[in-house]
């Protein structure tokens, strides 16, 4: 296609040059030539011939330009269609990742291919925008050694924000609008996504402890808190065997079931994530308020606030097997 367009352009320039030469020749030599043949039929034939040649070359030039425009149009349409396909493919892939809230090795292996295809077709700004999405998803996946990694709400919202920027750049690249989406509209969209995600993610399952109805994470915290209050001499070294290990249900690194208070604060300072029960005050100072920190005989620990419904039955069964009160 590119070769055909270049050839058509070359022919157009040659025809334009021919037109200029003819026009120049006619303007310089037409009058002397007419004077030489002294009018009559010969002059008319000569005039008609020059006119016919000029019209033919001009027509060829116009037809050539029309062909060039048509070739450019077909190329643009094909590239546009391919761009739309790859942009939709990227959004569908990230949609699958965000809907189930988990990152698998298979999904991570898929991500580089859209990036490579973008480098073939998309504008530099679009490529950079998707690279930001790719790097964030990659950072989330590398945060643990598990083959399947859960994405927390904070990371989800950041990915949504990066996808919004990517979508805006795609919009400009496809020339749907010369003006990007305003920052105000982007913020409103993200707020709507955030509220929607909260409602969708809300699990209304309740658990009863001492006659009080509790959410999953509060229930687990209350069960363990009650056990520690009745066994104040339990040490940090004893806690994994007598209650549960940090890696219960395969949870590791930033997603461990509990951390020491110092570890939880260190993670918060490094990544800004509040994944552990430290304070019950909404919007409270994570570094100063610590009313939900549990005190062992020789240490302070923080229980994870991130619990899924599939983890509840194994937790309750484990507590019952260790003689820990669960109701």
Query: How do residues 104-113 score in pLDDT, each as one tens digit?
Result: 777 788 888 8
Contacts of the segment 308-311: beta carbons below 8 A, 24+ positions apart: 308/150, 308/216, 309/203, 309/205, 309/216, 311/249
The length of the chain in residues reads 327
Query: How do residues 134-144 score in pLDDT, each as one tens digit?
Result: 888 888 888 76
SS3 1: coil
Query: How do residues 8-49 score in pLDDT, each as one tens digit?
Result: 556 656 655 665 665 555 555 555 555 555 555 655 555 566
Strand partners of residue 21: none
* 271, 254 Cβ separation under 8 angstroms: yes
Query: How do residues 238-251 score in pLDDT, each as one tens digit?
Result: 999 999 999 988 88
Mean pLDDT on 271-287 = 81
Q: Bigger pLDDT: 210 or 48?
A: 210
Give pLDDT, residue 299: 92
Query: How do residues 68-92 score in pLDDT, each as one tens digit?
Result: 666 666 667 777 788 888 888 888 8
């Amino acid at each position: 296609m590119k070769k055909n367009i270049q050839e058509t352009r070359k022919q157009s320039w040659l025809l334009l040059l021919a037109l200029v030469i003819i026009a120049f020749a006619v303007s310089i030599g037409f009058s002397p030539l007419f004077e030489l043949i002294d009018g009559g039929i010969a002059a008319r034939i000569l005039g008609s011939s020059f006119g016919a040649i000029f019209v033919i070359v001009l027509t060829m030039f116009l037809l050539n330009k029309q062909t060039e425009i048509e070739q450019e149009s077909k190329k643009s349409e094909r590239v546009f269609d391919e761009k739309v396909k790859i942009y939709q493919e990227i959004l569908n892939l990230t949609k699958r990742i965000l809907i189930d809230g988990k990152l698998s090795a298979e999904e991570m292996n898929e991500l580089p291919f859209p990036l490579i295809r973008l480098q073939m077709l998309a504008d530099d700004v679009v490529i950079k925008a998707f690279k930001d999405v790719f790097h964030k998803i990659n950072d989330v996946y590398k945060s643990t050694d598990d083959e399947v990694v859960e994405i927390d709400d904070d990371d989800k919202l950041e990915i949504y924000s990066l996808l919004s920027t990517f979508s805006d750049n795609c919009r400009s690249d496809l020339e749907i609008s010369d003006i990007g989406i305003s920052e105000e509209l982007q913020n409103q969209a993200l707020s709507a996504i955030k509220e929607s995600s909260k409602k969708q993610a809300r699990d209304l399952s309740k658990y009863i402890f001492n006659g009080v109805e509790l959410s999953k994470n509060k229930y687990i915290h209350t069960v363990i808190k009650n056990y520690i209050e009745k066994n104040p001499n339990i040490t940090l070294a004893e806690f994994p065997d007598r209650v549960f290990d940090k890696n219960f249900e395969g949870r590791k690194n930033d997603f461990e079931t509990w951390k020491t208070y110092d570890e939880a604060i260190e993670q918060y300072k490094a990544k800004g994530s509040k994944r552990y029960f430290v304070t019950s005050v909404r919007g409270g100072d994570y570094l100063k308020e610590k009313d939900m920190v549990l005190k062992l005989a020789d240490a302070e620990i923080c229980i994870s606030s991130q619990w899924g419904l599939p983890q509840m039955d194994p937790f309750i069964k484990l507590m019952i097997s260790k003689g820990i009160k669960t109701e």
